[in-house]
Amino acid sequence: MPLPPTQPRISRWHWPLTVLGCLLPLLFGIALLYLAGLHQQKQHALTIARELLLRIERMLTEAERVNSKVADMVGQPCLAVLPALRREATKAALVRTINLADHEGAVYCTSLLGKVQQHAPKEAFFVGKIRLLPGSSWWPDHPVLSLRTPVPKGAVIINIDSTHLAKALTEVSGETLHAWLRVGPQWLDAQGHRYHHQPDAALAAMRSRMSLRYPLSITVGYPLATQTWSYWIPAHWSTLLLLLVGSLGCGAMTRWWLTRPNTPAQELRRGLHANEFIPYVQPVIDARTRQPCGIEVLMRWQHPQAGLLGPDCFIPQGRC
C-alpha cells in the first residue's frame, strides 16, 4: 500500500519567508536602480563640465588673441593709441574693455575711459593671470573676468563681461542641473552672481573639471531634490513597475516552494527527523503450550495528517 497523499503543513514561518522573498528582490533592485541613476548623473555632470570648460577656454583664447594685437601699444601715450585700442575693443564681441598697464602694474589707458590711473598689480591676479572682479566704478554689481597678458613693457588686461560667462552656464543650468565657474577663491553662478566661497547649494553627483590652460575650473552638480521619491517615481515609473511585478513573482515562487507537497521519500525523511515512528510490542504465543515464547516489535508511523500508518505504507519507500 503506497503512502497516502499528504498536504504540506503550513508553518508559521511560511508567510514571513514569502514576504521576505518578495521584498529582497524589490529592495535590491531599487538599490541598483539608484546607484545606476547616480552613476549616470555623475557621468552626465562630468560631460557637461567638460563642454562648459571648452567654451570658456575658447572665450579666453579669443581674448588672448586680442591681447596679442594690442601688445605693441603698451608703453605708448594713451591719446596716441586710444583710437586703435577702441577699434580692437569694438571688434571683439566678448570684450568689455581693453586696458594697458605699465611695468609697475598701473593701468594708464582703457578703451572705455581713455587716460586713467588705476592700480592693477600682478599680485592682484590669481597666479598673476586672471581674476574675477565684482564690477566696475560705472557698473559695480556686474562682475567681470579680467585676463592679464604680460608684455615686455607692462601688461595688457582684458575685461570679459560676465554676461557671456553666465550665458554659457545658464544654457546647462536649470531645476535639475547647476553649474558654477571658479576662479581662485571666487565663484560665478548662472545668474551672474559672484561669491567669495562655494555657494551653499545641497548637491549630489557633483563633478568638477579644471582647465589645463587657465587657472580656473567648472563645477556641475544635481540638486538633492533629484534624489527624492517625488523625482524618482515620475522619472523611472516604468522601471519601478517592472521591478514590482518581478518582485511579486519572486514572492509567489517562494510561497509555492515552501508549500509544495512533499514526495514520499521526502515525507519519510521528515518523519524520521520528527520521531513520528512508534514501536508496538506484540507477544508471540507457542501454539502447543499456549505460553508466551517471545515478542515481536512492529513499527507504526504516527503521521500528523494521515493518522496511524502500517508498515505496508512506508516499508517500500524505505527500501528505495
For the segment 162-206, what is each residue's pLDDT rounded down to a tens digit?
A: 888 888 888 877 667 888 999 988 999 888 888 888 776 667 778
Global pTM?
A: 0.69
CA 123 to each of CA 67, 104, 148: distance values in angstroms, whole numbers, following the listed order: 19, 11, 11
pLDDT in tens, 70-86: 999 999 999 999 999 99
Residue 295 pLDDT grade (very low, low, confident, very high; cuts 50, 70, 90): confident
Average pLDDT over residues 9-35: 80
The one-letter amino acid at 24: L
Specify whether the CB–CB gap between 128 and 119 falls below 8 A: no
| Sign of CA pseudo-dihedral 16, 21, 24, 30 | negative
Label residue 77 exposed, middle or buried (CB < 10 Å: 0-12, 13-18, 19+). exposed
